[in-house]
Amino acid sequence: MSFNKLNLHDSLLDRITALGYSTPTAIQEQAIPVAMEGKDLLGIAKTGSGKTASFVLPIIHRLLADKPVQKSRQPKVLVLVPTRELAMQVNEVFRQFSETLSSSLKSMAVFGGVSINPQMKAMYGVDILIATPGRLLDLQRSNAIGLSKVQILVLDEADKMLNLGFEKEMEEIIKLLPTQRQSMLFSATLSDRLSGIRKVLLSDPVVIEIENKEEDVTQINLSGYFVGDDRKGPLLRYLIREKNIKQVLVFTSSRQKADKVASKLSKNGIEALSIHGKKSQSERVTALEKFKTGNLQALVATDLISRGIDIDQLPYVVNYELPRSPKDFVHRVGRTGRAEHSGLAITFVTKEETHHFKVILKKMKRYIDMIDSQTLEF
Ligand code: AMP
Centre of ligand 1 from the C-alpha of residue 339, in Å: 7
For domain 3-209, is the CATH number 3.40.50.300? yes
Q: Residue 46: which pLDDT band, with cuts at 50, 70 and 90?
A: confident
Bridge pairing between strands 298-301 and 248-251: parallel
CATH class of the domain whose range is 220-375: alpha beta
Q: Residue 312: which pLDDT band, with cuts at 50, 70 and 90?
A: low
Bridge pairing between strands 370-372 and 182-187: unpaired
Higher pLDDT, 336 or 3: 3
CB of 312 within 6 A of ligand 1: the answer is yes
Can you tell me the mean pLDDT for 89-105?
88
CB of 107 within 6 A of ligand 1: the answer is no
Q: Residue 71: which pLDDT band, with cuts at 50, 70 and 90?
A: confident
CA-closest residue to ligand 1 atom 14: 50
Say how far apart CA 260 and CA 153 lie, in whole Å: 41
Of 50, 91, 99, 96, the closest CA to residue 285 belongs to: 91
Centre of ligand 1 from the C-alpha of residue 312, in Å: 8
CB of 51 within 6 A of ligand 1: the answer is yes
Percent of the chain with pLDDT over 70: 93
Centre of ligand 1 from the C-alpha of residue 376, in Å: 38
Mean pLDDT of the residues in the chain: 89
Q: Residue 306: which pLDDT band, with cuts at 50, 70 and 90?
A: low
Residue to substitute in 32, 210, 306, 312 for testing ligand 1 pocket (most ligand atoms within 8 angstroms of CB): 312
What pLDDT digit, counting tens, does each position of 196-246 carry?
Answer: 888 888 889 999 988 655 445 666 788 999 999 999 999 999 999 999 999
pLDDT for residue 214: 45
Of 22, 19, 164, the closest CA to residue 86 belongs to: 164
Q: Where in the chain is the domain with CATH 3.40.50.300?
A: 3-209, 220-375
pLDDT for residue 219: 63
CA-closest residue to ligand 1 atom 18: 21
For the cut 60, the answer to whether the pLDDT of residue 276 exceeds it is yes
pLDDT for residue 236: 97
What pLDDT digit, counting tens, does each position of 147-193 carry?
Answer: 999 999 999 999 888 878 898 999 999 999 999 999 999 998 877 77
